[in-house]
Amino acid sequence: MIPPDNQIYIIIFSTIFLGGLMSTFVVAMVFIHRQRQAQSRQKMDQMQVEFEKTLRHVENEIHQETLTQIGRDLHDNIGQLLSLTKLNLNSSKPEKHLEARECVNEAIKEVRALSKTLNLDWVESLSLDEYIAQQLQRIQATGFCETSLQSDRSFAELKKEEKLVLIRVVQECLNNAIKHAQPDRIAIRISKNGRARHIEIEDNGQGFDTSKQSNGSGMYNLSKRMETIGGKFSLSSAVGKGTLVNLELPFSV
């Protein structure tokens, strides 16, 4: 039998030991928690840096596409108008001089319209629906294929960064259809379903076997860009049956 004095010492020692053990456990848990907090902050910082990098890249690409389009318009539209002006001015007929004046006025209008696209101010002044309608009209005006747009204006309210990413993704999807699909028709549908909004881009072109999709980074990049704004990118296609792209973006909370 343990003497009473020894029992007291054992109790005191056990209490101290358990207290020390508990303190060590608490300190360890606090340390682990702070480590996780630091890792979370670091991960959030990295995500923010990546997000800002993506937006800068998207803005740069849109600038480049805009400048390319301006170059085409300068060559095809304004260049043609100025050539007609020169021909008409070289004529001795008075009515040709009148036509030359009309060509000059038309060229001035074209230059003013182009000047408005040299910066990204139009991103804020133009709705996504209006932008898509303009792109489809340009495609159809070339005679390449028929186009159509159906929209319930689900994307009327967008943050600038969301609109930038969506503009670039839609732009890239249309470019892919033009370059690779050889369609007779491109249709875009904008709608909402529950808590999410959808942009469907469909063409009736030659399609492709998604199981044999190349290792290119095009589709991956589009998917990652949608992720930066909390959205999703999906694609379905089959040889001879066209391609359907779905862009999904939740409503802002």
pLDDT at 190: 97
Are 132 and 148 in contact by the 8 Å Cβ rule? The answer is no
How far apart are the two ends of the chain, measured CA to CA in Å? 70
Are 198 and 246 in contact by the 8 Å Cβ rule? The answer is yes
Q: Which two tokens stand for residue 20?
A: 């020390």
Structure confidence by residue, pLDDT tens digits, 189-231: 999 998 899 999 999 999 998 887 665 567 888 898 898 889 9
pLDDT at 225: 87
Structure confidence by residue, pLDDT tens digits, 81-112: 788 788 888 888 878 888 888 888 888 877 77
Structural domains of the chain in order of their starting residue, each with its CATH number: 1-119 (no CATH), 146-253 (3.30.565.10)
> What are the beta bridge partners of residue 245?
201, 235
pLDDT at 107: 81
Q: What mean pLDDT is predicted for residues 242-252?
A: 93
Q: Give the distance, in angstroms, between the CA of residue 223 and the centroid of all CA atoms in the same chain.
A: 9
Q: Which of 244, 140, 139, 248 is nearest to 190 (CA)?
A: 248
Other Cβ atoms closer than 10 A to 27 = 10
Are 162 and 249 in contact by the 8 Å Cβ rule? The answer is yes
What's the whole-model pTM score? 0.62
